[in-house]
Amino acid sequence: MKRFWSTYEFTLRQERRRRKFDHRRHHAQERQTALRKRPTRLRSTRSRQQESSLPAPETLSLFDEPDKTLEYCNTLRKHLNQRGTKIFLDLGDVQHFTSDALLLIRAIMASSVHHNQVSGNLPRDPAIASEFKASGFFAGFAKPPANLPPAKGLILKKSSDKVLAETAAELVDFAKKHVPITKKRANSCFQTLVEAMTNTHNHAGGMKPVGHQKRQKRRFPKKWFVSVYCRDQTAYFSFIDLGIGILKSAPARNILQKAGASLSSYGRISLLEDAFKGRIGSATGKPGRGLGLPRMKQDAESGMLPDLQVLTSDIVGSVASLDFKTIAHSLRGTMFRWRALHEESSND
């Protein structure tokens, strides 16, 4: 039933509405006043403009000074994994470097998820600085050193996650243009590059589940990086992948499983020696597979791959003599380095 309001009742109703409105407005004003009086929150000093300076060691070489160089590269990787951090590579104190260390630094930068801005300077030693300029190390840097001349074309760098025989041939041809080497030695370099690419493609990647069934897994390959640096009638080949490394590959896991031993009880150096002696074999079990590392050892012993060295996990050493040692820091992946000498200065 419709209600009829008297004038007096209507007046009381309107008064109650006015008091409620005034009450709400008063509290709203108090809240605004309290917010204005609150101290301003200081913005975090960790901003996108923050720059981390990483001083490099005097010797930047994975095989001449593996511990300090790996510590430096692992620190770089750690900073690259932090989003929004600018990185400055302070190379001023570098007195000696080899192309394998430069390749690892560029591989870490290329594999970074966040692609943070990286800049750097030249070594203070004029002779070392000129070698850095010739190497083309700073190509593609966000902020390279000022007045940097073009590289002299003494280095060729490639990367992929596939086995590319034509790329291996291109790298060997590049070395032959700068260093006179025999066809036999060139073929050995070519086979080594293809075998290293194959090992990376087949074993360096990890496993991830596919679909809804956890048992269905698919391996995703890791990239390999290779460079040929020519100087003083010598071509320096460096090959690296940032995968799981030889000691954690499927063939290595198989031999540990057959022996019923863990990696620590079997021995990391012993396992790497067995890999180059051909005792591990291939994960597929097919005849003729798993001979790549033993073939590298044979070529190193015969002088076709002079000074062939390997660095994987925390083991480093000569392949020809299997003279390996454990170091304090670890490489995530596997690095090979060897030389192709001018025939007149070689011992073969």
Per-position pLDDT tens, the chain of length 348: 555 556 777 787 888 888 888 888 888 888 888 777 666 555 554 445 577 899 999 999 999 999 999 999 999 999 988 887 889 999 999 999 999 999 999 999 988 877 778 889 999 999 999 888 888 888 777 777 877 766 667 788 888 888 899 999 999 999 999 999 889 999 999 999 999 998 887 766 655 555 555 554 545 567 899 999 998 889 999 999 998 889 988 888 888 888 888 888 899 999 999 999 988 765 444 444 557 899 999 999 999 999 999 999 999 999 999 999 999 999 989 999 999 987 644 444
Let me know: does 107 contact 225? Beta carbons within 8 Å: yes
Would you say how long the chain is, in residues? 348
pLDDT of residue 205: 60
pLDDT of residue 146: 77
Phi/psi region, residue 285 (left: phi>0; alpha: psi -120 to 50; beta: rest), is: left
CA dist 190 and 172 (Å) reads 6
CA dist 95 and 123 (Å) reads 8
User: Which of 267, 307, 310 lies closest to 292 in space, CA to CA?
Assistant: 310
pLDDT of residue 304: 92
pLDDT of residue 283: 46
Let me know: does 200 contact 190? Beta carbons within 8 Å: no
Let me know: does 68 contact 101? Beta carbons within 8 Å: no
Query: What domains lie within the chain, and their CATH numbers?
Result: 49-138 (3.30.750.24), 153-348 (3.30.565.10)
Strand order in the sheet with 155-160: 155-160, 224-231, 234-241, 323-341, 309-318
Among positive and negative, which fits the CA dihedral 19, 24, 27, 33? negative
CA dist 25 and 30 (Å) reads 9
pLDDT of residue 8: 73
User: Which of 331, 326, 338 lies closest to 245 in space, CA to CA?
Assistant: 331
Place of tokens 């994975």: 62
CA dist 36 and 120 (Å) reads 45
Among positive and negative, which fits the CA dihedral 174, 178, 183, 184? negative
Let me know: does 60 contact 72? Beta carbons within 8 Å: yes
Encoded amino acid at 26, one letter: H
